[in-house]
Amino acid sequence: MELVEAALAGNRRAIARLITRIENDGDDAHASLSQIYPYTGQAHIVGITGAPGTGKSTLVNELAKAFRAANRQVGVIAVDPTSPFSGGAILGDRVRMRDLAGDSGVFVRSMATRGSLGGLARATADAIKVLDAAGFEVVIVETVGAGQSEVEIAETAHTVVVVEAPGMGDEVQAIKAGILEIADVFAVNKADREGADRTAAALEMMLDLDQTPSSQTRSASRIVIHHGQLMEVAQHPPHSTATGPDVPNDVSASRRWRPIVVKTIALRGDGIPELIQAIADHRQYLETSNELAHRNRIRLTNELEHILRDELMDQLLKKIDPSILVSLMTQVADRELDPYTAARQLLKNSYKGKRQRRSGDA
Amino acid sequence: MSKYHPTAKQKIRVLVAKPGLDGHDRGAKVVARALRDAGMEVIYTGLRQTPEMIAEAALQEDVDVIGLSVLSGAHTVLLPRIVELLRQNDMSDVLVIAGGIIPDEDVPLLKEAGVHGTFGPGTLTEDIVKFIQEHVRE
Ligand SMILES: Nc1nc2c(ncn2[C@@H]2O[C@H](COP(=O)(O)OP(=O)(O)OP(=O)(O)O)[C@@H](O)[C@H]2O)c(=O)[nH]1
Ligand SMILES: [Mg+2]
């Protein structure tokens, strides 16, 4: 476990190799993660998402420089898609981050999705943990610029910055469905281009609609979408007791944050101080409202669920005789058996197998 | 089965970079795409990279291979410098290959300096893919 110790001490080569080990999901990946886990939970995780080419990487470059100017250590994880045809990938985000070279307070890692569809790789959350444990105070995560990436980054990051660019036609329609629900901050980038004011105004208008008292129920469901499946948790935030009896329980902290809209020209660094301020304001809000603990809890619950699901599936597949699987699949394909019954039969078979082995052992 | 079989979880990671000051990277992009199509993860860093930037990116990205595209005459200085920086970072097992315009008489010098393969103009991308697959560290 020398590698883990070296990574925790901030050794850059060790950090890089540890991330590879985790990405490849090798034998010692889980043991390494168990070891670093106690040292995580310090970093502010900032997600940057938005359509392809809106300027995410260029913004990450500027944000990282600004955080560095404030003397904070910055880790960056930039995710690009794996080709479903070859399994290969071109990871090009570094091209826009060349200003970060030569600074030992910055660590940039590119990551391919490797089949994951949510805009992040399966290993992204764990790679964040490595950077967090190694002492990076801010971890910026750039998602794949396409697909339904938004929910996953909302579950992973503390603060989500959604990047929009002007010039996409009808402003209100151009704003992707679901984006209002996950954004904590909007960056209207390429503000040097025609239409940035209109895009910003359209966002403000939509946010105003979303915040009016008559849309209380919509606001409540906003939390539900934000945090995926965990609606009960969102409706009864764990901090409602901690904030005292004078704070009404049904007003979730999430509702009181109104996303900030900032215009930026990433190419020239314009609007970056404002964007940094908006991110800091959101962080402050998370801390003072107890929303931070709330979000962390939801994130970890989701993570645990994913791990459980993966492990159960692995265990199950190991127990199932492949020939039984094939024969059931054939029956399903021939419409002799429905998939629900097939799944139940497989489960029953696997448990039977286990009991037999046990009694055989005894 | 090789650990780099397409269905294996492990992928060959390649840094494609263009050291030096000359200004086009068409060839580098063609190679990057060919490597992707062969199932590799290509970290593309773009133009005008210094040896220090390349070595640092290779370290952070933990690549198995560095592919360098050179068109200027400075390769006899730049490439040995990159290999030396890799050595300092304890990354001597990284496969270093170079393509572009490299006069034949410079090839022995580059080999001597630790560049494992050189590919002149007109090289088929398949040959580069094959070279990497055969020589990458296991
Ligand atoms: N005019 C203008 N162009 C910009 C600005 N910011 C970025 N760009 C350009 O927009 C293009 C895309 O920028 P990237 O930073 O690569 O965008 P991205 O969102 O990371 O792209 P993907 O990762 O491919 O989705 C580049 O050519 C940038 O130079 C800006 O403020 N104004
Ligand atoms: Mg990008």
Q: Which pLDDT belongs to residue A221?
A: 37
pTM equals 0.86
Query: What percentage of chain A carries pLDDT values higher than 90?
Result: 58
Residue B60: closest C-alpha in chain A = A16
Q: Which pLDDT belongs to residue A208?
A: 87
Write the pLDDT tens digit of every residue in A244-258. 444 444 444 445 799
Write the pLDDT tens digit of every residue in A68-113. 999 999 999 999 999 999 999 999 999 999 999 999 999 999 999 9
CATH (residue range A42-210+258-291): 3.40.50.300
Write the pLDDT tens digit of every residue in A39-52. 999 999 999 999 89
Q: Which pLDDT belongs to residue A147?
A: 59
**Mean predicted confidence (pLDDT) in A52-62:** 96
Chain B interface, mutation test: which of A2, A3, A76, A86, most B Cβ atoms within 10 Å?
A86
- Three-state SS letters, chain A: CHHHHHHHCCCHHHHHHHHHHHHCCCCCHHHHHHHHHHHCCCCEEEEEEECCCCCHHHHHHHHHHHHHHCCCCEEEEEEECCCCCCCCEEECHHHHHHHHCCCCCEEEEEEECCCCCCCCCCCHHHHHHHHHHCCCCEEEEECCCCCCCHHHHHHHCCEEEEEECCCCCCHHHHCCCCHHHHCCEEEECCCCCCCHHHHHHHHHHHHHHHHCHHHHHHHHHHHHHHCCCCHHHHHCCHHHCCCCCCCCCCCCHHHHCCCEEEECECCCCECHHHHHHHHHHHHHHHHHCCHHHHHHHHHHHHHHHHHHHHHHHHHHHHHCCHHHHHHHHHHHHCCCCCHHHHHHHHHHHHHHHHHHHHHHHC
Q: Which pLDDT belongs to residue A262?
A: 98
Selecting from A26, A89, A98 the residue whose C-beta is nearest the C-beta of B41 gives A89
CATH (residue range B13-135): 3.40.50.280
User: In which band, very low, low, confident or very high, does the pLDDT at A360 lie, cut at 50, 70 and 90?
Assistant: very low
Q: What is the pLDDT along chain B (138 residues), one digit of tens a residue?
A: 344 444 456 899 999 999 887 777 888 999 999 999 999 999 999 888 999 999 999 999 999 999 999 877 778 889 999 999 999 999 999 999 999 888 889 999 999 999 999 998 889 999 999 999 999 987
Q: Which pLDDT belongs to residue A210?
A: 76
Q: Which pLDDT belongs to residue B1?
A: 33
- Mean pLDDT for all residues in chain A: 83
Q: Which pLDDT belongs to residue A170?
A: 55
Q: Which pLDDT belongs to residue A168?
A: 61
Which of A9-18, A72-81, A118-127, A229-238 is the least confident region? A229-238
Q: Which of A96, A98, A153, A274 to mutate to test the pocket of ligand 1 (most atoms within 8 A of CB)?
A: A96
Q: Which of residues 14-33 of B touch A (CB under 8 A)?
A: 32-33
**Mean predicted confidence (pLDDT) in A277-300:** 92
Write the pLDDT tens digit of every residue in A187-233. 999 999 999 999 999 899 888 887 655 444 333 333 333 333 333 33
For chain B, domain boundaries: 13-135
**Mean predicted confidence (pLDDT) in A310-329:** 87
Selecting from A13, A95, A102 the residue whose C-beta is nearest the C-beta of B90 gives A13
